[in-house]
Structure formats: C-alpha cells, structure tokens
Structure 1
Amino acid sequence: MKKKNKTVFYVSLFVVIIVVLWALIFPTNFETKTNSTLNFLVEKFGWFYLTTINLFIFFCIWIASSKYGNIKLGPDDSKPKYSYISWFAMLFSAGMGIGLVFWGVAEPLNHFINPIGVEGGTEAAKSFAMTKSFMHWGLHPWANYSVLALSLAYMQFRMGKPSLISSIFIPLIGEERVKGKIGKSIDVLAIFATVTGVATSLGLGTLQINSGLNYLFNIPENTLTQLLIVVAVTAIFMLSTAKGLDKGMKVLSNTNVIIAGTLLVFCFIIGPTLNIFSNLGNGLLAYTKDLFVELNPFGKNEWYKDWTIFYWAWWISWAPFVGTFIARISRGRTIREFVIGVLLVPSLISFLWFSAFGTLGIDTGMDVAKEAIIKAETAFFVIMKYQSFGSLISMAAIVLLGTFFITSADSATFVLGMMSSNGDLNPSTRRKLTWGVIQSALALSLMVAGGLEMLQTASIIVAFPFAIVMVFAMVSMTKALKNERFSKEQ
C-alpha cells in the first residue's frame, strides 16, 4: 500500500516538473505544441466537448429523479457532517469562487460589446450577454462536477473504496485492474490536471489582486508585489491546511459566503435594482430556451470555439480536483439531495452574481464598457469607479479575492494530499504542505516567466481524456446502482 502511495506521488511530481521545465526552458516550443494541440482538439472534437457536457446534465436530472435518488452516499443510517450552509459554502468556494470576481463584470461586457448575430450595445446584445454568461457559469459546469463527485462519493462512502478517481472504474473493470497500471495512470492524470489547473488560477488570482491594488492605491504591478501576495496567501492557506477541514476550510468558506453575500446585496441596493431584476428574469427565460438550442453540437462558429468550448474544456479539467473535494464533504447526503444541492444552488448564485455585476457594468455605457474590457483583471475595478461607494466595493472585492484564493489553494492541497496518499480521507499534514508549496512555487515561477496561459492550455488539453473518463464514470455509476438494486431485491 505504501509503495503505491509513493509511486503515484513521485510519478505525479515527476510529470509536473518535466512539463513545467519544458514551459520554462523552451517556452516557444511549449507554446507552439500546446496551442496546436488545443486548436486541433477544439476544431476536430468541439462536438465531443459539447455533447458530453450536455450528457452530464441529463444524467444528473435522470439520477436525481430516479428510484436511486433516495440512496445515501454512505451507510443507510449515516448523517451529513456539515450543515447546508457550510456544505454550500465549501463546494462553491472550491468550485469557482475566484472566477466570479474575475469574470463577473468582464464576461457580460465582452458579450455585450462583441455579441454574435446582433449589433453590440443593443437590447439584443444585453440579452445575449446575460444568456451566455448564465450558460458558461450555470448548470453545465456544476453538472460536470456532479458526475465525478457523485460517482466518487458513492464508491468511497457507500462501497468503502479509496477516495481515488480510479475507484470509479471498479464496477467496470474490477478492483485488481484498478490497483494496477490503469488505475495509477488515471490517478497521475488527475493529479497533473489538478496541480496545473489550480496553479494557473492562483497565478491569475494574484495578477488580479495586484491589478486591483495598483488601480486603487497605485501599488506597482511587478514581480516583488506578486511575490509578496503569493507568500502572504500561501502562509494563510498553509495554516488553514494544517488545521484541517473543520477548523480551516469550513471557517474560510463561511467567511467567503458572508463577504460575497454582502457584496451582492450591496450591489442590488446601490445599483439599478429594477434593471438587475429585469435582466435576471429575461436572462433566465432566454437561458432556459437556449439550453435546448445548445443541444446541437455541430456547426458552431469561431465564437463558440473561443468561449463555450474553451469553457467546457476548462471546467472538465477542474473536475478531478473539485469533484474529489465535493465528494469528500458530502457523506450522508442522499443522491437526490446531493444533485439538487450541487447543481441548483451554486447555479442560482452565479445567475444572481452575473445579473447584478453584469448589469452594473452594462449600464455605465459603451464607452466605459470598452475601457473596462481592455484588461480583464481590472474590468471590475474600472466599473466600480463609476458607482456610489465603488471604492468600498473594490476593497471588499480584493479581500474576497484573497479569501477565495486561499480556499481554492486550501481545498486543492487537501485533494492532492488525498490523491497521492491512496485516497486517504485525512492525508498527512506533511503531504498536504508539500503540495501547497509546489502549487505556490509553480504559480509564481510561471507568472515571472509569462507562462501561465501556456500552462492553462496544457491543463485544458488534459481535459480531453478526462471527458472520456467521465463518460465511463456515468456508465460505471449506473452499473453499480443496478447491482445494488439487484442485491436488495434478492
């Protein structure tokens, strides 16, 4: 057992180091190869990304409404460890928290100014902006997380298997094969996707915090400032990691919800409230209709390749990390309760967030909107400059970025510890801290070298085999549930 732990850990570490050294030493070659690979996948297999992520939604709806919905993720008498509020807070903080602050203003404005099929800056463009923002941050990413998290939670808590992505395949290929090369390869791939994806997001989060501090307080945007930000955040999330889930991640996640909720309520109060609610309602109607339009995976233009398909690949690349973490905190929930909680609650929060901050940005007018989207990192702060109490909101947003940054790194460190310790639900502090240092060092080194976007591209490429893994996860989960039903009938 320990040998396997060391094998997965060291092989994963070796793969990450080789890829990062390639990016740092031969950046041009790395960029050329990764971009050409990504372009090939998007061009030739864009339909596959679109089809699979739609399948995830149908699978979640089916399983939640089926007779299997009452099955618990654990023994029949098990009870959830975390309250609904703490559960929602932790899964949301791990899933996409920092992205909402980064894109909450920038994405709707991009779609408002550069829509497809309609003229920019019009009412039709406004509807397009809300609908596509809802599409990219709503049911699809959370269905993607749900499929992997549900399968993993079922196997680890109901069937007593290790908390490893490879465990999902036990009903299909048997436990012995999962313990062999196939299982190890899947687990190494999961660790690589997690490390690169999270390091990229941490780097982008650092850049936005630095940009916000520069915009508000004229603090320089340079390597020294970014180093100080990374060191400060790393120290905090390492402390949180050492304290564990209950005293660390849970407290920070609840703090996130309080700050984000306050910002959202404040935005509704100071902003164009009627317009926000109008855009929310119209956006939801258009989004619901658009869900069926998006079922056709063929004939998509360049806009879809640059935005939607890119997003689907990005969310899939995050599925191993977020799915493993959500599974870890969901013991005792029923399948129906799990799917409703993971799929609907975070999606609703995203709809509210994009309606509020997107409307705030759109209502400032085209000239300000064009200024804001020049640099995505500062779009939020540019728009806030034109609002009442904008400076106060901007400062709160920087704090929120920091806390989301910490919880993302904290949860990723916990998950990496689990993945590299044969699925141990309580990995050693030493193993978690090792991955924490690796994440931060990786993010910082790539920021300095200008390689964050290249690493993001590499992690999205990894999403392609993981999309296949997740399709088989649905098949495996279905087979396992049928076997359970069969045994009960007997």
Structure 2
Amino acid sequence: MKKISNVFYITLAIVLATVILAATMPAGFEEVTNNIKNLITTTFGWYYLILVTVIIVFCIFLIFSPIGAIKLGKTTDKPDYSNGTWFAMLFSAGMGIGLVFWGAAEPLAHYVTPALADPETDQAFKESMRYSFFHWGLHAWGIYAIIALCLAYFKFRKDEPGLISSTLKPVFGDRVYGPLGTSIDVLAVFATIVGVATTLGFGAAQINGGLTFLFDIPNNFLAQSIIIVIVTVLFMISASTGLGKGIKYLSNTNMVLGILLFILMFIAGPTILTLNIFTDTIGGYIQNIAQMSFRIAPLNADHREWINEWTIFYWAWWLSWGPFVGIFIARVSRGRTIREFMIGVLLLPSIVSFLWFAIFGTAAIDVQASGLVDLTQFQTEEILFAIFNELPWSAALSMVAVFLISTFFITSADSATFVLGMQTTNGSLTPPNPVKLTWGLAQSTVALILLYSGGLQALENALIIAALPFSIIMALMLFSIYKSLNIEKKELGLHFRPQMPKKKNKS
C-alpha cells in the first residue's frame, strides 16, 4: 500500500497510546480529561463564540457575493449526484444520529434547567426551543460548510491534494508539503477520530436504551459493547463496497426512515402545538441570534456554567466533527457553484433541524408538562423511548427509531472510514480497503474505551479537548480561502456592482 502517508502511522500511534492509557487507568483518565475540559471552557469560551460567529458571517457573505458564482471544480464539471442524493448524503454524515439522540432530550433539559428563565415555565418552553435551534442550526452547518468549501475548492479547482493541510497553501506556501503539513493533518485526523467515536458512543447508548424499552435488555456497558461490535462489522462491510454503493444506499435509507419517523411523530404528537411552537421559535431565533452568539455571562457563574456545558460543548463538537463532515461533503460536491453549495449546506439542513426539534422537543416538553410521567428520571439515551411510551403507536415509533439510529450509526462510521482513509493516503479519492478498515476498528475501539472510562461525560470531555487545536487550523483556513477567492475574483473580473455601459459620444 504505497499510498499510505506518515499521517497514518503517527495518528495511529497516538490513538493506540490514548486507548492504552484510558483502558489501564480509567478513573485517572476521566479526572485528567475533566480538568483539561474545565480549563479550556473557562479560558477559551470567548474564543469559540467569536470564531464560530465569524464563520457564519463569512458563509452569508459568500452567498450574496459575486464570489458565489465560482464553481467548485472546472468550468465544465457537473455535479456527481442528484440534489436529493447529495442532500441525503451530507445530512446523514453531518448530524443525523445526533438529531435522533438529542431531538427530544435537549429541549427537555433546557425546559427543566433553562439558561435564563424559571424552570418549567412557558418562558422556559420557548427558551428551550430557541437554544436548541441555536445549537443545531446555522452555526453548526457553517463550520461544516467552510471546511468543505476549502477542501472542494483547493482539490477540484486548484488540483491540490484532498488534505486539510493543502487548504493552507496560500498561508504557508510549499511548507504544507513537509513536517508542518503532516502535523496539521495529524491534528485533523485525531480530532475526527475523537468526534466520530463520541457520536458512535452516543448512538450505541441510545440503541441500548431503545432495546431496553422494547425488549428489557439491560442498559449497561456490556450491551453497548456488543452493539458497537455488531455495527462495526456492518459498517466495515459497507465501507468495502465504496462511496457509490454502501454510503449512497445507506444515506437514502436514512432519509426514508427519517421522514417516516418524522411524519409518525408529527401525527401522534401535539400537532397544532408543534406548528405554533415552530413558528414562534423561528421568530425568536432570528430576533435573538446575535445575542445568543456572543453570550458568555462573565459575571454570573451559574449562567456561565450552563454556557460551558451546552454552547461551548456544541461548538467544540461541531469543530471536532468538522474535518470528517467537511471532507465528506467536499468529496460529493464537485461541480456545484459556491452559492449553490452554501445554500445547500448552510440553509437546508438547518431548516430540517428546526423542524425536527420542533416536533420531538415539543412532544417531550408537552409530556413533561402534563404530569403523566417525569421524564427526568430516565437516562438521556432513554428519553426518546419514554416519550413514545406516552403516545399512540409507541411500539412502531420505537422500532423505526432504533432502525434509524442504527442506519445513521453505520452511515456515519462508514463515511468516517472513507474520510480517514483519504486523509492518511495523501488525499486519495479511493483509499485502500485495509486503511479504511484499520480506521473503522480504531474509531470503534476509542468509542468503547471512552464509554468504559467515564460514559457520556468522558465522551464530552474528549470532544472539547480535541477541538481546541483544530479550531486554530480552522481560523487559518478562513483566512486562506478568503485570500485565494479574492485573488480569483479579481482575475475573473467579478464585482459587487454591474458595470454600467459607457455612454456614446454625440456626434
């Protein structure tokens, strides 16, 4: 396998060292990661908020700028996938499994322990939905969009290798082909492994929660380990079939199951309340987005702790998932203009996320407010199924949800093996199967070790730690793509204002 780069061996060694350390000293590993996480959120919270907000502003600028007419590829390139398949693939890789896990649990958590309002009040209801929209909307997809844009632009238009380091050539020049570039790619690959492993841990926990409700299977580490092993075998089989088969078919399956669960829940839940809450929350989100984007609560320790546990955690999660999702979206987006790309990646998935949270979050809070059952007594991964238990067609809803989580699980892991393979074989668009399978085993092992060493809290700690160094690379990518696009804008004669025709001289 001559394609394998030094990034493969260096990152694999770091992953193995981390796994051994966490497996042999789980309590100490959890304590150390928790201390580092607290230090990062306390010291760099302001930095995360500013960086992600700048990313959003830049994405919106590109939509309306003449730069948006530039194609991600050569002038004659056409999109490789239809709009429907393209959207299904980017959404499945982007956050499908996270939406199922948090769609009901997060609004409920904000309702019971709100950011500002009194707990379990009408104000808390509206605030909980607004912050759920905030955490899963434009800011999340803006991070993905910029990374994907940089990779697609430099790969398909500038013929650079499909590597994170290659996107920084306008900043560092040919040094990206040496040790500096290797270090950048190692950081990106390691952040990807931690981000994907965290999501796999969430997915395994929720599948376990669903099986507990459906079949009374114990909800513990052993059961979650068996789930991860089974899913690992399935996604490795899928990974061996290539991008045009396994991931494509799984993504389309995800969309069918997701739409089915979406419709069933919309009908079975409080339909009119859901529509009203969605409409009201969209207005509140637009009205308060600037304030929420910069809210750091420097003089209120309780409010600051809430921001650290939720907003900063999410920004770190999206940053750590950024290389994986960005590379995958870039790979399937050749032939689209920057404007078309940005609208597709930034706006459409955000709207779907809003609708998802409106349906599942409203149902969760409605059940909690009714007093029929206290949903806070359940573990996070069990909340969705506890809600189903209070609705019509509960068994059908639970079965569809378990299948959807499973297919999202497989798709995310499958997509990640492709991306990790690509990043460790000098940007190859067809990484060898042994490389993909190695990373498949690595990310599943990391997920198991993190669950073993501290459960979901250890997963969250690892995310925030891995995201910090990559966030610096992300800031440099912003500068790099702007510099390159600005040069090309001048070369192509693109302007914000159309040139007025010259007046003819009167003879």
**Would the TM-score normalized by the shorter structure come out above 0.5?**
yes
Poorly superposed stretches of 4+, deviation over 6 Å: none
C-alpha separation in 1, matches of 2:112 and 2:34? 26
Decide whether the 8 Å contact of 1:200 with 1:453 is kept in 2.
Answer: no
Q: CA deviation at 1:64?
A: 1.5
Letter in structure 2 aligned against 1:267? M
Q: CA deviation at 1:130?
A: 0.6
Decide whether the 8 Å contact of 1:149 with 1:326 is kept in 2.
Answer: yes
Letter in structure 2 aligned against 1:411? S
C-alpha separation in 1, matches of 2:414 and 2:284? 37
Matching residue of 1:209: 207
Q: Is 1:257 the equivalent of 2:255?
A: yes
Q: CA deviation at 1:54?
A: 0.6
Matching residue of 2:276: 278
Decide whether the 8 Å contact of 2:194 with 2:466 is kept in 1.
Answer: no
Q: Which of the residues 225, 246, 249 maps onto 1:248?
A: 246
Matching residue of 1:80: 79
C-alpha separation in 2, matches of 1:128 and 1:32? 33
Decide whether the 8 Å contact of 2:420 with 2:439 is kept in 1.
Answer: yes
Larger radius of gyration: 2
C-alpha separation in 2, matches of 1:79 and 1:210? 43
Decide whether the 8 Å contact of 1:106 with 1:373 is kept in 2.
Answer: no
Decide whether the 8 Å contact of 2:143 with 2:318 is kept in 1.
Answer: yes
C-alpha separation in 1, matches of 2:218 and 2:359? 30
Decide whether the 8 Å contact of 1:196 with 1:456 is kept in 2.
Answer: no
Matching residue of 1:127: 126
Decide whether the 8 Å contact of 1:443 with 1:452 is kept in 2.
Answer: no
Decide whether the 8 Å contact of 2:195 with 2:321 is kept in 1.
Answer: yes
* Deviates most, 228-237 or 80-89: 228-237
Q: CA deviation at 1:298?
A: 4.1
1:78-477 pair list within 5 angstroms: 78-174=77-173, 176-300=174-298, 301-366=304-369, 367=371, 370-372=374-376, 374-450=378-454, 453-477=457-481
SS of residue in 2 equivalent to 1:150? helix
Decide whether the 8 Å contact of 1:27 with 1:451 is kept in 2.
Answer: no
Give the structure-1-normalised TM-score: 0.96
Q: CA deviation at 1:454?
A: 2.5
Q: CA deviation at 1:402?
A: 0.2
* Deviates most, 196-205 or 81-90: 196-205
Matching residue of 2:62: 63
For 1:310-365, what per-residue CA distance to the aligned partner results, in whole angstroms no more than 9, with x for missing partners? 11111111111111111111100100001000011111111111100111111113
Letter in structure 1 aligned against 2:314? Y
Matching residue of 2:497: none
Identity over aligned pairs, percent? 49
C-alpha separation in 1, matches of 2:166 and 2:96? 28
Q: CA deviation at 1:227?
A: 3.5
Give the structure-2-normalised TM-score: 0.93
Letter in structure 2 aligned against 1:68? I
C-alpha separation in 2, matches of 1:105 and 1:277? 16
Assess, with a 3 A threshold, how the Cα gap between structure 1 residues 18 and 264 changes in structure 2: closer, same or farther: same
For 1:429-483, what per-residue CA distance to the aligned partner results, in whole angstroms no more than 9, with x for missing partners? 1211111122223323443444663254123212112212111111110111122
Q: CA deviation at 1:85?
A: 1.0
C-alpha separation in 1, matches of 2:115 and 2:296? 17
Decide whether the 8 Å contact of 2:22 with 2:449 is kept in 1.
Answer: no
Assess, with a 3 A threshold, how the Cα gap between structure 1 residues 255 and 451 changes in structure 2: closer, same or farther: same
Aligned-residue CA RMSD in angstroms? 1.8
Letter in structure 1 aligned against 2:352? I
Decide whether the 8 Å contact of 2:72 with 2:153 is kept in 1.
Answer: yes
C-alpha separation in 1, matches of 2:431 and 2:153? 20
Assess, with a 3 A threshold, how the Cα gap between structure 1 residues 373 and 320 changes in structure 2: closer, same or farther: farther
C-alpha separation in 1, matches of 2:61 and 2:465? 29
Letter in structure 1 aligned against 2:440? G
Decide whether the 8 Å contact of 1:372 with 1:378 is kept in 2.
Answer: no
Q: Is 1:484 the equivalent of 2:483?
A: no
Structure 2 portions without partners, runs of 5+: 299-303, 495-507
Decide whether the 8 Å contact of 2:118 with 2:124 is kept in 1.
Answer: yes
Structure 1 portions without partners, runs of 5+: none
Matching residue of 1:46: 45
SS of residue in 2 equivalent to 1:73? coil
